[in-house]
Amino acid sequence: MKYLPLVWAALLRSRLRTLLTFLSIVVAFLLFGVLHGVIGGLDVLVNSMSDTRLRIVNRMGFTRWMPIALRDQIERIPGVTAVAANGYFGGYYLDPKNGVGGNALDMAALFKIYPELVLPADERAAMLSTRTGVLVGADLASRYGWKVGDRITIGTPIWQHPDGSRNWAFTIVGIYRFKNGALPADELWMNYDYFSDAGGEKDQASMFIVGIKDPASATRISEEIDARFRNSGTPTLTQPERAWMQSQIRRTGNIRFLINAIVGAVLFTLLALTANTMMQSVRGRIAEFAVLKTFGYPNGVIAVLVVLEAMLLCLGAALCGLALAAVAFPPVIQQLGLGAIPIPLSVIGIGFAIAVCLALVSSVPPVWRALRLDVATALAAR
């Protein structure tokens, strides 16, 4: 700690240069935190998927719907506990920019399949008995200020209501969430029967969600379902929920590679910038280092002073950037439909480790120069 005034004075020697470098590091680690937080958020989402659920879609494509009659055949397969039909609704609230993830679901079956669903018994009963009732996720309700009992109108570019418009009126009968925030609670769920009868795909489902007793039987049941409908007019693709989510993420491209490439390029540029800043700082203080050596300061102390200067600059800026990323991350991840989850702590830890490495690597060239200086030559040049 006794060397801290020397280190601090070195940083303030060229305040503009230090400030610009500091801001560059802050922005870089803000970008790192948000982008790597997205990867971490996707991993959290995938890992939260249940091993006791399967997803069934049309093998010909997600936009190809399946007859609701398939549900009865799937329910008869040994090991299946319940099957919920899912009809994609889509939609928006007030403005097309305010997208709402809406789905029509067989609610009675859904309550059996999702034991982690947190919803009071009276709200469950209200949903089952209210034809135009909807359940909204806690995150979605918070976003728009909705509460139980509100009447809302959801517009959709896809489905025409029987009244001739594309506006569907619902009553919010419940607000759901998941235990321990295991899954995002940001969708709107309506009754499948109402959707089917009132203008959606009649007796058709875009997906079936299947509950199973034993996770070990997931492969067998998946193969049996697909074999049963392989030669029908509606061949199916059945996957465990976790594998299904991974496939949905892959459909958008190799996000992990893209983010790592962007962050890698930014950090490489930042390394060059920080090393250049440290080289300029040491170059401007060659005479000072020569004086310290004259007074008997060993090379180890000179090296420590340079490394501490790089550490203070890099770690201070990195912590500011990561703190800003922690604030910016929840709304960013919410816009991606992954719920209001906090930035993973692993991202903060990795960012801190990268900042330490950045400081150490960027201080190598200036340390090398400071240790090799000739005292007589440096003082004569002064």
Of the ranges 49-58, 86-95, 102-111, 252-261, which one carries the lowest mean pLDDT score? Answer: 252-261
Higher pLDDT, 234 or 201: 234
Higher pLDDT, 136 or 302: 136
H/E run at residue 174: strand 167-178
Burial 281-318 (b: 16+ CB within 10 A, else e): bbeebbebbbebbeeeeeeeebbbbbbbbbbbbbbebb
Q: What's the token pair of residue 254?
A: 């190799």
Instruction: Look up the pTM and report it.
Output: 0.68
DSSP 68-131: TTHHHHHHTSTTEEEEEEEEE---EESEEEEE-EEEEE-HHHHHHH-TTEE--HHHHHHHHH-T
Higher pLDDT, 372 or 319: 319
Average pLDDT, the chain: 83
Whole-number pLDDT of residue 272: 84
Asked whether 30 and 325 are in contact (CB, 8 A), the reply is yes
pLDDT digits (tens, 9 = 90+) for 217-231: 999 999 999 999 998
**Percent above pLDDT 90 for the chain:** 34
Higher pLDDT, 206 or 242: 206
**Percent above pLDDT 70 for the chain:** 81
| Amino acid found at 243 | A
pLDDT digits (tens, 9 = 90+) for 38-78: 777 677 666 666 778 999 999 988 788 999 999 999 999 99
Whole-number pLDDT of residue 36: 79
- Measured CA to CA in angstroms, residue 142 lies from 44, 181, 187, 199 at distances of 22, 15, 12, 29
Whole-number pLDDT of residue 6: 63
Whole-number pLDDT of residue 289: 65
Report the distance separating Cα 303 and Cα 293, nearest Å.
12
Whole-number pLDDT of residue 251: 63
- Measured CA to CA in angstroms, residue 364 lies from 38, 273, 275, 367, 369 at distances of 33, 14, 8, 5, 9
pLDDT digits (tens, 9 = 90+) for 282-332: 676 666 666 666 766 677 677 777 788 888 888 889 999 999 988 887 777
Report the distance separating Cα 247 and Cα 252, nearest Å.
9
Q: What is the CA radius of gyration of the chain?
A: 29
Q: 118 has which bridge partners?
A: 177
Q: Is the pLDDT of residue 382 over 70?
A: no
When pLDDT is averaged across residues 174-195 and rounded to a whole number, the result is 86
Q: What's the token pair of residue 360?
A: 């150490």
pLDDT digits (tens, 9 = 90+) for 232-260: 889 999 988 877 777 666 665 566 777 77
DSSP symbol at 215: G
pLDDT digits (tens, 9 = 90+) for 6-46: 666 666 677 788 788 889 889 999 988 888 777 776 776 66
Whole-number pLDDT of residue 333: 67
Contacts for 240 with CB less than 8 Å, ≥ 6 apart: 49, 51, 53, 54, 55, 215, 218, 222
Higher pLDDT, 195 or 339: 195
DSSP symbol at 237: E
Report the distance separating Cα 51 and Cα 349, nearest Å.
29
Q: What's the token pair of residue 187?
A: 């969708």
Dihedral in degrees, nearest 10, Cα atoms 230, 236, 242, 245: 140
- Measured CA to CA in angstroms, residue 105 lies from 97, 152, 210 at distances of 24, 18, 12
Of the ranges 30-34, 196-200, 291-295, 346-350, which one carries the lowest mean pLDDT score? Answer: 291-295
Q: Is the pLDDT of residue 371 over 70?
A: no
Contacts for 5 with CB less than 8 Å, ≥ 6 apart: none
Asked whether 88 and 59 are in contact (CB, 8 A), the reply is no
